[in-house]
Structure 1
Amino acid sequence: MTGTVLIRPVGEDEREAWNPLWAGYLAFYKTALTQDVSDLAWMRFHDPDEPMFALGGYVDGELAGFAHYLFHRSTWAPHRYCYLEDLFVAETARGRGLGRALIEAVYAKAGAASASRVYWLTQSDNATARALYDGVADNLGFIQYRKVL
């Protein structure tokens, strides 16, 4: 890995650095959100009463990626689960191990919170990401169904 890499919570004063990464993530998934939804997510990351968090991946001091994760209860386990909802690394920072470092940091946060598992979703044709994911977790073969309300 080249450059100094640091994983830490994204600070409340780093919205301007996060915005282009968030826009890149949404563009990758060919989706758009209203500004108020993005504002709400940002507020939740920094609200101590919310179980939602943002870790940043920094290369040479610059925010180059993020992992958004949250904790929730389960009917299947006495401990909470950790859902890695969003993971993104800027195109210019890819191939440096930042995605793996962010996932490992989420694992550490989940372990510290006594979560019994970390899980996430990705598109079946996201071959680049799946190559990483296959090395750090198990693909259980589930299919997601969704009804937007």
Structure 2
Amino acid sequence: MSITVRALGDKDFFSWLGLFEGYSEFYKSELTDQKALQVWSWIIDKNESLTGAVAVNDDGDFIGFAHYREVPNTLTATRGLFLDDLFVSPDSRSTGVGRALIEFAKDYAATRHLTTVQWLTAADNETAQRLYDDVASRTDWVTYEIEL
């Protein structure tokens, strides 16, 4: 199976939605039509920082996606890329799709002269962490959150 990774486009909504439903289910987050449409509008709006890429198999099926955005790095006075979401369909896992999506994000960042690519993952997502430990350096930072 070959994998093609490309930027998400205006006509990709319904194929992307199937993957986004799987992503929401994986993280046990209820997905409403309103949420899906809001996220999609951010991805395709050129005035928003969030954008994304999709992995496609030989049959043209969407098998994974990545959502990312540029962020300032204040301590270095540079800009980096934050990988908000990375998802691979269950039947395509361990086939190189996740790695291909990360490489696409890395190339995207490099062409824009960004200095880092960073992301978070769930502490219990050990399968993903095996890939992440192979392609990146784990940091010492601890994440905190306040819900409003």
TM bucket normalised to smaller: over 0.9
Task: Note if contact 2:21-2:31 (Cα within 8 Å) is conserved in structure 1.
Answer: no
The one of 5, 8, 12 equivalent to 1:7 is 5
Alignment of 1:41-80 (within 5 A): 41-60=39-58, 61-80=60-79
How has the CA–CA distance of structure 1 residues 143 and 20 changed in structure 2, closer, same or farther, with 3 Å as cutoff?
Answer: same
For residues 76 and 31 of structure 1, what CA distance do their matches in structure 2 show? 33
Give the CA deviation at 1:110. 0.7
Alignment root-mean-square deviation, CA? 1.2
Task: Note if contact 1:79-1:114 (Cα within 8 Å) is conserved in structure 2.
Answer: no
For residues 41 and 118 of structure 1, what CA distance do their matches in structure 2 show? 21
Aligned partner letter, 1:6: T
**Matching residue of 2:109:** 110
**Matching residue of 2:124:** 125
Aligned length: 147
**TM-score normalised by the chain length of structure 1:** 0.93
Aligned partner letter, 1:37: K
For residues 62 and 147 of structure 1, what CA distance do their matches in structure 2 show? 38
SS in 1 for 2:45: coil
For residues 32 and 142 of structure 2, what CA distance do their matches in structure 1 show? 27
**TM-score normalised by the chain length of structure 2:** 0.94
SS in 1 for 2:141: coil
Give the CA deviation at 1:86. 0.2
Q: Which 5+ residue runs of structure 1 have no aligned equivalent?
A: none
Q: Which 5+ residue runs of structure 2 have no aligned equivalent?
A: none
Task: Note if contact 1:67-1:87 (Cα within 8 Å) is conserved in structure 2.
Answer: yes
Q: Which runs of 4+ in 1 moved over 4 A?
A: none
Give the CA deviation at 1:37. 2.7
Deviations 1:46-73 (A, max 9, x none): 1122221110001112111000000122
**Matching residue of 1:18:** 16
For residues 142 and 26 of structure 1, what CA distance do their matches in structure 2 show? 25
For residues 36 and 147 of structure 2, what CA distance do their matches in structure 1 show? 18
Task: Note if contact 1:52-1:68 (Cα within 8 Å) is conserved in structure 2.
Answer: yes
Give the CA deviation at 1:32. 1.9
Give the CA deviation at 1:84. 0.2
